[in-house]
Structure 1
């Protein structure tokens, strides 16, 4: 049978890398003349205008009993169930990017195929989760339900291996890097300033606290350096308070979200990712694309894969301001070597091509329809 319709399950919009991946895949599938139904509260302004595209916005009602994300997932699941009852099982596949345990249950109850995208390392997102009980429940639900999915696509090799440890049928877990990079920058020689940048949501996961503490160690040594943090999130007030407490207001600026980051990447001397865990790390891909030397924590799983471990950048332990400070200082003193590593990482950047990896996603979905029909 031919794949004619994809129902994308993404209940709760979150700003960040997943938004870009979602839109890239939708646009690619539409070019293949596949009908797309998106169950999500993503703003319509960001979505394509196409006769084959339909958004179902659940118009969520606030439920104080459940967490915000779980409440939205439950309400979106009801929409998914209603759609599947009127769908051709041999031509339709569910593609879940979030709250996938519920999507799997609904899909299987309605006898439909479902592919899950796993965006984070399941083990380390549990270890470092904001809420330990919620994190344990999440991983337990994955162990119970993911075995019933038809395919699971992880966005890094490391997260694939972690997920395989939890499941009985390991063969259904594969890895495809994010369909992210639209264009490889040919120009490498940008005018650099003594600036370090870090891009990402201000959440516990991103651990900007450690990066701020590393900057304090450097300023204590008399190093003249500015850190620009681009992003926003629920930890912003805490980070700003820490910056104030450590007397670093002149050295660190939180800029919030910016639409166009090109000029920041062009002028920055170093890029630092301080995360506790990651999916892939699209911001690291951007840094490599602009030939910026990268310092990343050894968070599981994607960032070290992007820079080929220490061959294409610098990997430090998680939660170590001392090691981040040491590497920043080393890079500043040995900048030609740092640039050489950045150049090495860029040789392999085509692994994250939007077109190449979108095609891989499409191939997997078509193959599942064919094999299960």
Structure 2
């Protein structure tokens, strides 16, 4: 009788701060589900359990409401408040999860905490014995490399935003120079991002763009003539996303085009400031129903594709971006897109100016608002141009198709393993 041969699954550990609803976190969740779906063992290593996380269909864990459950494990949220989770309470043999925050009783002074965090990660990698570690974002990448230096485990670090922003301090810049040469690979989202690094690290770089979310790929494209006179902005409300630029542009635009409205999706620290600006400009929609000539703040919502699919125009006003998910997704729905041509080149990789969207040169906020106002005027006054650009934008469905992008990640990982 032939001896039964057991083939060990390749094991990928993916490391990030939390699964909070952000762009990088969504990409990691999508990758986790993809690799799990094709037969890999996948474990997510996060520092924290966020209170607003993406839900994974094949998660092996379950979040608990209290510690009364006999399987409750104490973890921390990003504010370092206690939360509870059953690490085996989800799908059997599903995507695993570990937490790496230092608990209050584990803490010492600042230097001790750094070494203890590194030690905790090293112990986790030794216990999990992955075939490869994928890390996302800034300090996480530094921690992943430092903690795996003594181990024979390839580490891939992924820079998700403009590198000069993600590694802005002298300490982080020094850590990049010292530790990134030890990485098995460095994933960036745009060719422009590679220029931040010296030749040694640049040779390790691989451009792997974001895939379009399945929700958007599965969504029907609304014919342009059936769309509503709605301009949308989607993203965290913060200084970098710079939504005050579109608000100022819209305030002039509606003087001639009062039948349009601006709907802003997302939440964040600048929301109060933006609402006050709209109030000052007398364009704040206080009904919350999307009144003509007004700006409505929609907050953070689920199923964003359903919300924006009937809109005509999408505007991104960021100061910096990696490969902006919101822009790719809007293009995949056939919206006519306007974006700042911000570093490190993500929007310019997506938009061919005047063909499948409009790029706004980086300048002062006043100048960019003026240029966006003129772009909105052009599109509203000539719907044929808007229709043509929206139709051309649909080509992202092929180039950034999840099957195609995920296959590139798989090919890359198998090279390194």
State the distance in 2 between where 1:77 and 1:175 align: 28
Q: 1:299 to 1:14 in 2, by over 3 A?
A: farther
TM-score (norm 1): 0.85
SS at match of 1:109: coil
Unaligned runs of 5+ in 1: none
- 1:24 equivalent in alignment to 2:24: no
- 1:246 equivalent in alignment to 2:281: yes
SS at match of 1:248: coil
Tell me which protein shows more helix as a share of its residues: 1
Q: 1:143 to 1:335 in 2, by over 3 A?
A: farther
- 1:257 equivalent in alignment to 2:300: yes
Q: Deviations over 1:167-187 (max 9, x none)?
A: 523221011121334226554
State the distance in 1 between where 2:244 and 2:383 align: 25
Q: Are the equivalent residues in 2 in contact too, given 1:154–1:176 (CA < 8 A)?
A: yes
State the distance in 1 between where 2:283 and 2:103 align: 42
Unaligned runs of 5+ in 2: 1-6, 59-90, 286-293
> Alignment length, in residue pairs?
353
SS at match of 2:378: helix
2:135 aligned partner? 96
- 1:266 equivalent in alignment to 2:309: yes
State the distance in 2 between where 1:180 and 1:266 align: 15
Q: Are the equivalent residues in 2 in contact too, given 1:2–1:366 (CA < 8 A)?
A: no
- 1:174 equivalent in alignment to 2:209: no
SS at match of 2:385: helix
Q: Are the equivalent residues in 2 in contact too, given 1:143–1:167 (CA < 8 A)?
A: no
Q: Aligned match of 1:307 in 351, 372, 378?
A: 351
Q: Aligned match of 1:289 in 332, 342, 345?
A: 332
- 1:119 equivalent in alignment to 2:171: no
Q: Are the equivalent residues in 1 in contact too, given 2:45–2:99 (CA < 8 A)?
A: yes
2:12 aligned partner? 6
Structure with the larger RCO, 1 or 2 (CA within 8 Å, 6+ apart) = 1
SS at match of 2:200: coil
Q: Aligned match of 2:189 in 137, 146, 155?
A: 155
State the distance in 1 between where 2:170 and 2:379 align: 39
- 1:79 equivalent in alignment to 2:114: no
Q: Deviations over 1:193-242 (max 9, x none)?
A: 22110000011111111111112222455644211100011111221222
SS at match of 2:26: helix
Q: Deviations over 1:9-51 (max 9, x none)?
A: 1123442222321121111111232222211135687132350
State the distance in 2 between where 1:38 and 1:303 align: 29
State the distance in 2 between where 1:21 and 1:59 align: 22
